[in-house]
Structure 1
Amino acid sequence: MWISSAPLRISLAGGGTDLPVYARRFGGTVVGVSTNLRVTVVGRPGGAGTEVRACLDSCAAVPSADGLSNPFARAALGRHWDGGRIQLASFGDVPGGTGMGSSAAFCVALIGGLTSGPTGRQGGLRGTELAEAAAAIEIEALHRPVGKQDHYLAALGGFRRLRFERDGTVGAERIEPDPAVVRHLDEELLLFFTGITRDAGAVLASQGDSVRVGDREVENRLHEIKELTAVVGDALSTGDTGLLGAALGRHWEIKQTLGSGVTLPAVDRAYRDALAAGATGGKLIGAGGGGFLLLHVPTAAQPTVRTALAAHGMDEQPFGLDRWGHQLVHVGEVAR
């Protein structure tokens, strides 16, 4: 049996500039960090009977991967499974479609496990190879209009400055903030669930179309979002968490102009109340349209901010920042 897990991530700045339609013209940059919220996939060779037994979105026993309802699992098994009997189950710390990169983390965890054991076609993918294989499931196999930031952060973990070059290559620079800065961010960054799930691909599609047809306004806004990665980098190196909050807020202001599906009136009202209660800034994680609202809130203001968000029906999601990316454990027979 193997147990394979990958972290969910928060993008601090630059989101959207990793989309291939933008990055291949201008080059993209994203600064993000992995969290201690994870997606875990458990796999083992199957016994007699049906070839694939899987509890993913739902439980099923099917004669081949083609019978699975989960498109990511279908595509991953099609590329990385040897066809022998297999049993799979998955678990996630947050619902899918909430902007935390859960589909990428699932692909990283599943492929990392599949390629490590007797059911895989390769000798075990790790690091950037694993990130690229997971990204290929979404971008090449499923033709989703997404970038690679989620896959790299899920595979590598930690604070990262990811550079998406025009030739399609990705540079993944680890950022090492002072431990005291990380502790402050752990205390001052809060996540609240809006209660709304959505398909990130649907939100990103219109943005990609605007860049594809040369919409200068959208291009310039994405340029500005990319420039905010330098501001966030400075905030992480100096420990100026208030500057980070302001950068998150500016990022969100720009992002809301990229398309009509990025925000919702209920989210806007909750965000305004959070600022009035003492948050310095924040944004919806991921493509927008729902999911989780990330806020920077000084410790003294946190009780009033929590009260303000509770009034909007938004539950807080406890989390921490984490340096670990993909992790894999093999479990053998227990000695008797």
Structure 2
Amino acid sequence: MIISRTPFRISFFGGGTDYPVWYNEHGGAVLATTIDKYCYITCRYLPPFFEHKYRIIYSKMEQSQDIDGIQHPSVRATLKFMGNQRGVEIHHDADLPARTGLGSSSSFTVGMLNALYALDGKMVTKQQLALDAIHVEQDIIKENVGSQDQTCAAFGGFNKIEFGGEKKILISPMTLRPAVCRDLQDHLMLFYTGISRFASEIAAEQIKKTPDNTNELNQMRQFVDDAIGILNSQDTDIVDFGKLLHETWKIKRTLSSKISTPEIDLIYNDAIDAGAVGGKLLGAGGGGFMLFFVEPHKQPAVRKKLNNLLHVPFKFENQGSQIVYYAPADNY
């Protein structure tokens, strides 16, 4: 039996420049971190005593005699990609709900790949995990997804990730002074709107409009370096990071009519009125989690104002996808 643990991510700046339709021509970059909320994949070869060959347990349970009969798109595509010939049983558990803007779909795919490689007795690099997951999601499933979620999930940590050309990814870990890193975490608040959505459907419109959003995407790319400059400054005013989040949200919500909604705008405005400096909706848009930058002494007021939403405390993490349990299976 194998258990993989793969983190979810928070993207601060550069989202939208990680789509191949953009970065293959212009280059792209994001500033993002993984957090201490995880996707767990338990995987084992299924003993040959059952009528079915595959059993997949997530929010529903599937049993199938062949891979093509599996409904879950990532499981089906990943098993095909790995060339699986033996029956397997797969369980999925997660700390946070799916379809909420934290890259959960890609964390699932990365965790699946990591578990299946381990099941086959292979230890692969984080680079390979990321590239394989990008291939599965973009080329096999043909989801409208970028390339940052798979990379974040595989590598973990707080990174600048640059994209350019075919499958070209450069990871630059943020080398922050510990006090700055703690200060940044202390200013961040994560709230769940209760709205789930299919990111691929929302991203489709944004991808289609990419040629019309050149100026906006170039500016969002520039914000990545601006944010790094703020964090690395010797006389850092961390509040400037929050102000930059506000600016990137103002641009992001114009990229597609599906990114924000009147309900999301109301939540955002309520948080600002209560003292937040800035923030953004995470992921493709339409719902899920919202991130706010709030000075610590104003956070009680923001929690009170948004008391109808679930506040989720978190910390940064730097491990990426890991095999946390490995027990070789008996042969039948």
TM-score, normalized by length of structure 1?
0.93
Whether 1:284 aligns to 2:281 is yes
Alignment of 1:245-284 (within 5 A): 245-284=242-281
Amino acid at match of 1:166: G
Match of 1:22 in 2: 22
**Is the contact made by 1:18 and 1:28 (CA closer than 8 Å) also made in structure 2?**
yes
Question: Whole-Å Cα distance in 2 between the matches of residues 28 and 220 of structure 1?
Answer: 13
Match of 1:297 in 2: 294
1:148: how far off? 0.8
Secondary structure of the residue aligned to 1:150 is: helix
Q: 1:297 to 1:331 in 2, by over 3 A?
A: same
Question: Whole-Å Cα distance in 1 between the matches of residues 37 and 75 of structure 2?
Answer: 21
Question: Whole-Å Cα distance in 2 between the matches of residues 325 and 82 of structure 1?
Answer: 25
**Is the contact made by 2:131 and 2:167 (CA closer than 8 Å) also made in structure 1?**
no
Secondary structure of the residue aligned to 1:115 is: helix
Alignment of 1:1-336 (within 5 A): 1-47=1-47, 48-49=49-50, 50-118=52-120, 123-211=122-210, 214-215=211-212, 218-238=213-233, 239-310=236-307, 313-332=308-327
**Is the contact made by 1:81 and 1:115 (CA closer than 8 Å) also made in structure 2?**
no
Q: 1:331 to 1:168 in 2, by over 3 A?
A: closer
Unaligned runs of 5+ in 2: none
* Cα deviation code 1:183-219 (max 9, x no counterpart): 22222211001111111111111111112xx32xx11
Question: Whole-Å Cα distance in 2 between the matches of residues 274 and 329 of structure 1?
Answer: 38
Question: Whole-Å Cα distance in 2 between the matches of residues 7 and 330 of structure 1?
Answer: 16
Amino acid at match of 1:265: P
TM-score, normalized by length of structure 2?
0.94
* Cα deviation code 1:143-177 (max 9, x no counterpart): 11211100011000111111111344111111121
Deviation beyond 4 Å, 4+ runs, structure 1: none
Secondary structure of the residue aligned to 1:10 is: strand
- % of aligned pairs identical? 34
Aligned residue pairs, count: 324
Task: Please tell me the root mean square deviation across aligned C-alpha atoms, in Å.
Answer: 1.4
**Is the contact made by 1:182 and 1:321 (CA closer than 8 Å) also made in structure 2?**
no
1:227: how far off? 0.6
Amino acid at match of 2:168: T
Amino acid at match of 1:21: V
Amino acid at match of 2:61: C
Secondary structure of the residue aligned to 2:209 is: helix
Question: Whole-Å Cα distance in 2 between the matches of residues 331 and 147 of structure 1?
Answer: 31
